[in-house]
Chain A
Amino acid sequence: MAMTLVEKIFARCAGRDTVTAGEVVWVRPDLVTVPEVAFPAYVKRLRGVGFERFSNPDKVVVAIDHEVPAHSQAGAERNRLTRQLAHEFSVGHLFDSEGITHPLLIERGLVRPGDFVAAADSHTAVIGGAGAVGVPFGFETALLMATGQIWVMVPETIRVTLTGKPQPGVGARDIALATMRELDETAASYRLLEFAGEGLAHVPFWDRMTLCGLCIDIGAKSAVVPADAVTVAALEEIGVETTGDVVSDAGARFCQEVEIDLGTLEPLVSVPPSPTHVRRVSEMRDTTIQHAYLGSCASGTLEDLRAADALLSGHKVREGVNMLVIPSTRKTYQRAMEEGILTRFTAAGATVLAPTCGPCFGGLAQLCAGERRISTSTRNDPGRMGSAEAEIFLGSALTVTASAIAGHICGAGDIAKGRPS
């Protein structure tokens, strides 16, 4: 029987030869991830009902990534307790202030194409960039750690075929937002998005994390770019051996097909009140901004930092704009430092901080009423970053950097042409 990629993964994790979309099966994930936000609360709840150990602690990843460095007494206590409990429960991996969970999993070689990761955090779909499937389960992850298994409904798959070649200045964020224009939450809900097509050749490995991670915000169960030559080459560099291609069979059933011609795309931006409210950057040029943020698990890669650095060359962050740059992992931070990127960001007037989820959920650099930020992070709900009367716009690293230079929303093309300055 022809199966989709996710059917194959869930069949394997259920110990079955085949499964079909719509079935409910019990699965054992390859990895379980929990941030410090929730880990002590999960353990407390588990102990309250008498669970004193994890079923398979080697497969548990605990990450201190949301409040790093601690900037409250409660945060300091939570981080200390997380370290202590991770040790007590003998978890396989503790990422202590080393970066954001999802990109770290790939960077550390902990996920391979065809893996299934169950996560407490919403944006685990980022790992779809490496051909794996990440699904968020919130508090249910606590019980999963104790029992080792969880029920899932095998999702139907929507195939998104990318054709053509993107214009300069158009990248993974713009492709994700173009996908949002094609699929609303009614279409995406309970379904997995699988990217395909020759256009993927123009989406570099680390940009695929952005592409997949943002699809969770359409309301999809997850998203994946099946492993191809790009994946294999990137994972080899990390030291991950890929064993066989986990891809959808010829003849597998897709519940919907969408085609996006990358050649027709221009830079896009999400406007309030949600990521799925997508506009062209060119429509939004009158929108002034006071804050620009480059970071989060949906950006903050070395490639994004390099692109922003190249665009900033010869320019400064406009007076009156606060630009914040946060590399997504410590290794990325170090590489960017070695390449002089962080020095040049600082010289151009940006503030650089150590890896953390911080601003994405309003844990750092909060906004006041009436302020606007353009950001590479994941969501822009009112109140997400402080005041509910602040406005958050979401765009690519290039769009955010161009806007920081200009003081209003614009694209990289506008800066190259010298238009706003």
Chain B
Amino acid sequence: MRPYTGTCWKLPDAVSSDQLIGPAHVFDFEAETLRKHLLEEIDPRIAAEAKPGDILLAGRNFAQGSNHSHPFIAMKAMGLGLLCRSISRGPYRLTIFMGVPILTITGEIYDALEHRDRIEVDFTIGEVTALETGTTFQAEALPPHLLDIVKAGGGFEHAKAQEQDQKPL
């Protein structure tokens, strides 16, 4: 999996699942619809302007609240990666399951990066580079069994590949 290079969209602490995609869209699972609504309440420019390789940089307790899959379907369709200071188990699993690369980062990294900075993130080794300054930070990469799921493109693709290789799931 190649490093993600793009714009950093900085978000505050405790962005809720309902703020990521409003509950009005709970019945909709089409990626092309959902991506238009990602974070629209907080900053509608993200859905309009974010490009594949861009990174959502979130604070503590990202995606708290209802355990909705929708935001991660949208993030996958948009080609976004995720850096966050903390995330509870429900959205953490969904991020990986949808094939969205993720690193949990320290406050130092969060504070060092500004909204709209250019950054590069190698999710396979946990390396974050602020391209504006050239400073490189080290975060802990995903454990191998979860990184494999992200590399495969998500849980379904990973399961199919395992089935074809006749490996136990």
Contacts and interface: CB of A to CB of B under 8 A. Distances in A.
Interface of A: 24, 26, 37-38, 41, 44-46, 48-50, 66-67, 74-75, 78, 121-122, 136-140, 142-143, 146-147, 149, 151, 153, 185-186, 189-190, 216-217, 219, 221, 273-274, 361-363, 379, 381-384, 388
B145 A24 contact: yes
Given A190-B89, A379-B65, A383-B41, 9 more contacts: A122-B68, A122-B90, A136-B90, A137-B93, A139-B97, A139-B98, A185-B61, A185-B64, A361-B26
A189 B90 CA distance: 9
B7 interface: no
A46 B157 CA distance: 10
Given A138-B67, A140-B155, A26 B27 contact: no
Contact of A189 (B86, B93, B157): B86
Interface of B: 14, 16-19, 22-24, 26-27, 29, 41, 61, 64-69, 72-73, 86, 88-90, 93-94, 97-98, 145, 155-157, 159-160, 169
Nearest to B18: A381
Given A139-B97, A219-B61, A361-B23, A41 B29 contact: yes
Given A122-B67, A361-B26, A143 B90 contact: no
Contact of B23 (A74, A139, A274, A362): A362
Please indicate which of the listed interface residues B14, B93, B94 has the most CB atoms of chain A within 10 Å of its own CB. B93
A48 B160 CA distance: 11
B27 A75 contact: yes
B88 A190 contact: yes
Contacts of B94: 138-140
Nearest to B164: A50
A35 B157 CA distance: 24
A69 to B, nearest CB: 15
B89 A26 contact: no
Contacts of B69: 38, 138-139
Please indicate which of the listed interface residues A121, A140, A185 has the most CB atoms of chain B within 10 Å of its own CB. A140
Given A143-B155, A143-B159, A384 B18 contact: yes
A274 B155 CA distance: 31
B155 A37 contact: no
A136 B67 contact: yes
Contacts of A78: 27
Please indicate which of the listed interface residues A50, A74, A138, A384 has the most CB atoms of chain B within 10 Å of its own CB. A138
Nearest to B156: A49
Contacts of B22: 383, 388
A143 B69 CA distance: 13
Please indicate which of the listed interface residues A45, A66, A185, A381 has the most CB atoms of chain B within 10 Å of its own CB. A381
B24 A362 contact: yes
A140 B97 contact: yes
A143 B160 CA distance: 10
Contacts of A149: 169
A195 B155 CA distance: 34
Contact of B90 (A50, A138, A151, A186): A138
Contact of A153 (B89, B155, B160): B89
B97 A122 contact: no
Given A122-B66, A381-B16, A46 B156 contact: yes
Which 3 residue pairs spanning A and B have beta carbons closest together?
A41-B29, A139-B69, A381-B18
A372 B145 CA distance: 46
A305 B102 CA distance: 45
A363 B25 CA distance: 10
A384 B23 contact: yes
Contacts of A122: 66-68, 90
A67 B97 contact: no
B64 to A, nearest CB: 6
Contacts of B88: 185, 189-190, 219
Contacts of B17: 381
B122 to A, nearest CB: 24
B165 to A, nearest CB: 15
Given A138-B67, A381-B19, A186 B86 contact: yes
A144 to B, nearest CB: 10
Contacts of A48: 156
